[in-house]
Amino acid sequence: MLHGTVILFFTISALVSGCEDGTRPCDRTDAGGDAACPRCDASCGDADAEPTESDEDVLRRIMTARRSIRQWSGTPVTRADVDALFWAAQGITAPDRPTGLPGVMGFRTAPSAGATYPLEMYLLAESVDGLDQGVYWYHTVEGAIEPAGVEGSLAADFADACSEQPWVGEAAANFVIAAVLERTTARYGPRGTMYVHLEAGHAAQNMMLMAVARGLGTVAIGAFDGPRIARMLGLPEGHDPMYIVTVGHPGEP
């Protein structure tokens, strides 16, 4: 049932991601007025406009269709899928707004306590068209994906580090939401740790809804050995894994 339903959402992915070709969301500002889409050269409309009834209907259908998927078809995901999911998690939506980080501009798709933006996004690519197997980092400010220095398949070891959940190793991609806790705790003290965990949840939900809109399945993974994952992926010191979103094309249940 879900597999048939999510195919429908390919037709509405442009509404969610912002461009006709689905490769990149449109840039919007909080100043109102029409903003040009840099990729499809179309008008994004009024950023301050009230949502229409059809917008709500699309969002309701996407939210209704979201389910945890643990069987995969084996079809690779695309680079455009990866770009869209990264953007959903941490894409810049108001580039002219100052954040709580010195020298960093731009409000993002997920709310952040004090705009301290502690999250760092990583991808473990196993079967992604246009990307070699390995680990990648999302450069949020540039909206770009960069190799993180670890190459090759890590599927078996990664699944083992995720409490031996086989669907993790069988998926096309795994997104790791890491965090630099000090960015938020420096302002809010110990309570900032809770804020960071909440923010990771916001980002993950955004990704899962975008995945449905693109005809993909996801399952959220919370059972994993964080320090082992950090070592395996070669994460910088202080980039602590918070959450994993496993992604692929749904298979037969």
- The pTM for the full model equals 0.80
| CA nearest neighbour of 16 among 58, 66, 53, 63 | 58
SS3 251: coil
Q: What are phi and psi of 165, to 5 degrees?
A: -80, 110
Residue 22 has pLDDT above 60, yes or no: no
> What pLDDT does 50 receive?
67
Cα distance between residue 10 and residue 5, in whole Å: 10
Strand partners, 77: 128
> What is the pLDDT of the chain when averaged over all its residues?
84
What CATH number does the domain located at 67-248 have? 3.40.109.10
Average pLDDT over residues 13-39: 34
Tokens for 188, please give them. 């809010």
CB 192 within 8 Å of CB 114? no
Query: How do 144-151 and 105-108 pair as beta strands?
Result: unpaired
Cβ neighbours, 10 Å, residue 205: 17
pLDDT tens digit string along 43-66?
334 445 566 669 999 999 999 999
Average pLDDT over residues 148-169: 97
Residue 42 has pLDDT above 80, yes or no: no
Least confident stretch, 29-33, 106-110, 112-116, 143-147: 29-33
pLDDT tens digit string along 196-223?
999 999 999 999 999 999 999 999 999 9
